[in-house]
Chains A and B, each alone.
Chain A
Amino acid sequence: MIKPGAQRVVNMLGVLSASRRQPRRLKLCREDIIRHKTIKHAYQLFTKNEQAEQKQKLDQQYLRIKEAADLLQELDPELFAATNVPPEKKGRRFPLELRVPTDTPPRTIWSSTFANKLR
């Protein structure tokens, strides 16, 4: 019978120590290792393609923005100057009401009542 204080230390060490709490080592045969590596490579390829697609889309969107800005500068320099004012200068803040997507939907999906107090 050991003292309660000593028992506590034993318990804590049991949590930290690897002996008897580690699972048995995975022993994969050659075929299983190849299978595992194939899965890993497929995942890498999948994410790589996804990122490339996203980058291509962003590049295209940038070109559209540039095209619009160039045309606006040519047509109406005053309006073009107004688009280039940094939003922070006008005291504009990020809206608190903008909802970040969650894993599951909320109880009320959309708050349809809104009264504009500024106008």
Chain B
Amino acid sequence: MVKPLRVGLLLSRTPIITPKPAPFLQAYYKYMSELEKRLMWTFPSFFFFKKGTLTQRKFNELQKGPIARNKNIIFAQGEPDVHFNRDRRFKQEIILEPDEQEKVREQPTVTEADTKNDIKSLERKIEQTLYLLVNLKSENKWKLPSFEVPDNARSLHYAADNGLRSLGGDSMNTWTVSYTPAAVLKSKDNVPEFLIKKHILQGVFQPDANVEFAWLCKNEIKEKVDEDYFKQIEVLL
């Protein structure tokens, strides 16, 4: 026996990296950081490098140094104002040892799954939140995973968890955000579907052969599901 309601699952993979700021914000941050650098005090190299030592020589060799003031030259852009090896009219640029900077190697943000467009991989679109969408061969309709609630069910999130394990196997670590349903979806057959929010933390979703699945971001979900269905879940994504 089942209850006259269903439980749905909003299983998400949270972003791996922080999203890139908007172009306007990038420009603003650059402006502010340049302004801050211009207003910064001169770096006291005499404090960090003792006079006459090898480290001081190495440091000084790397620095470009400003153009010195010369009485015999006319400076059209204004006379240099050099103090402590810095032209005080501009920001100071400190150059560090090049091999020290090369040690840091960033991983690419576009992954292998992105280039292959593998929608079954959890390693795609690492900047955005991905949601699990399934397509049962018996229904042939893309939607969020949804399950029947047995009559003896203790709670909605237990039913959702059991449903997920029976559908996608046991080799994933998930975390229920809240026991309270995030929303209720209304369908034509008049059976309300309560959505439970979950995050996937480790492992993979491995269903049977008769279930198609995809990890999609918000824009991709819009293309896959029905218009009415998307309108109902749009706010939650």
Instruction: Check A83 for interface membership: any CB of B closer than 8 A.
Output: yes
Q: Is the Cβ of B181 less than 8 Å from the Cβ of A39?
A: no
CB proximity of B120 to chain A, nearest CB, Å:
11
- Chain B contacts for A61, CB-based, 8 A: 182-183, 235-236
Number of interface residues of A (CB under 8 A): 53
State A11–B51 Cα separation when bound (angstroms): 11
A42 interface residue per 8 A CB criterion: yes
**B135 in the interface (beta carbon within 8 A):** no
Tally of contacts, chain A with chain B, CB under 8 A: 166
Chain B residues within an 8 Å CB radius of A20: 42, 83-84
Q: Which residues 41-95 of B have a CB within 8 angstroms of A?
A: 41-42, 44, 46-47, 81, 83-84, 88-89, 91
What separation, in Å, do the CA atoms of A46 and B170 have in the docked complex?
45
Q: How far is the CA of A46 from the CA of B26 in the complex (A)?
A: 12
The verdict on A60 contacting B235 (CB below 8 Å), with A21-B44, A98-B14, A106-B16 known, is yes
- Contact (Cβ within 8 A) A112 B122: yes
* Contact with B155, one of A79, A104, A105, A110 (Cβ below 8 angstroms): A79
Q: Given A68-B194, A76-B5, A116-B170, A21 and B181 touching (CB < 8 A)?
A: no
CA distance A81 to B83 in the complex (A): 73
A67 and B184 contact, Cβ closer than 8 Å, known pairs A85-B179, A103-B18, A119-B170: yes
- List CB contacts (< 8 Å) of A64-110 with chain B: 64-65, 67-69, 71-72, 75-76, 79, 82-85, 87, 95, 97-99, 101-107, 109-110
Interface of A is mostly: loop
Identify the 8 closest CB pairs spanning chains A and B, nearest first: A114-B203, A82-B155, A64-B183, A68-B184, A114-B202, A97-B201, A68-B181, A21-B42
B interface list, Cβ under 8 A from A: 3-5, 14-18, 22, 24-25, 28, 31, 38-42, 44, 46-47, 81, 83-84, 88-89, 91, 106-109, 111, 122-123, 126, 149, 153-157, 165, 170-173, 175, 178-184, 192, 194-195, 199, 201-204, 235-236
